[in-house]
Amino acid sequence: MFTRKGDRGDTDSGKNNRISKGSLEVEVEGLVDESSTVIGLAIVKSPWDDIMADLCRCQDLVFNMGEHILIEGRGRVVSPDDVKWVEERTTTYRDEVGKILLFVEPGGSEEAVILHLARVTVRNMERHIVALSAEKNLDPVIMQFANRLSSLLFMMALVANRRLGKDERIWELRRASG
């Protein structure tokens, strides 16, 4: 389907006006879409019902966040309750993993690497949301949600490797010899 409306490099803003496809707001919306897509990949690759269900909810919340940004809270939004849910699920997965070594190199299993890919995609989205917040007044819960979501995806990646019996690759800071 095509409308030809965007042929000059602008698009509908969601607020009944046209904005440049090169704007930071459109960049953020693209990263919302990208994050949702990578989370979708993680959903179809997850063999675990609990992770799959949580990822489905995360995907819905990412779309809600996009609408929250685009039409400034006049539609679906992310809420403090959504942030709390992400924190609770992160804690549940952290409890399953046990001691966390912070410098984990993505690897081990395909399932874990896809969750790490979702995590870094969400982090990129978050950085752009922070930049957009300097131009546009955003509800602070948007940044809280994006920040917490990447932590949840990190924990899910560690759980995936643990459930599959795969060791994590730990990056160690080594002094340069010389």
Domain boundaries, the chain: 18-77+106-163
- Residue 113 burial (CB < 10 Å; 0-12/13-18/19+)? middle
- Residue 150 burial (CB < 10 Å; 0-12/13-18/19+)? buried
| Per-residue model confidence (pLDDT) at position 101 | 66
| Per-residue model confidence (pLDDT) at position 70 | 84
| Per-residue model confidence (pLDDT) at position 98 | 87
> Which tokens is 28 given?
């953020």
| Per-residue model confidence (pLDDT) at position 75 | 80
Provide the Cα torsion 63, 77, 23, 148; round to 10°.
Answer: -70
Per-residue pLDDT of the chain (178 residues; tens, 9 = 90+): 667 666 666 656 566 666 655 677 877 898 999 999 999 999 999 999 999 999 999 999 999 999 898 877 678 899 999 999 999 999 999 999 988 766 888 899 999 999 999 999 999 999 999 999 998 899 999 999 999 999 999 999 999 999 999 988 777 765 555 4
| Per-residue model confidence (pLDDT) at position 31 | 94
Euclidean distance between CA atoms 118 and 17, whole angstroms: 31
> Which tokens is 138 given?
């955003």
H or E segment and range at residue 148: helix 140-163
**Count of positions (residues) in the chain:** 178
Cα–Cα nearest to 104, from 47, 49, 153: 153
Report yes or no on whether pTM surpasses 0.85.
yes
Domain 18-77+106-163 has CATH 3.30.420.40: no
Provide the Cα torsion 134, 140, 144, 147; round to 10°.
Answer: -10
| Per-residue model confidence (pLDDT) at position 24 | 75
> Which tokens is 178 given?
């010389």
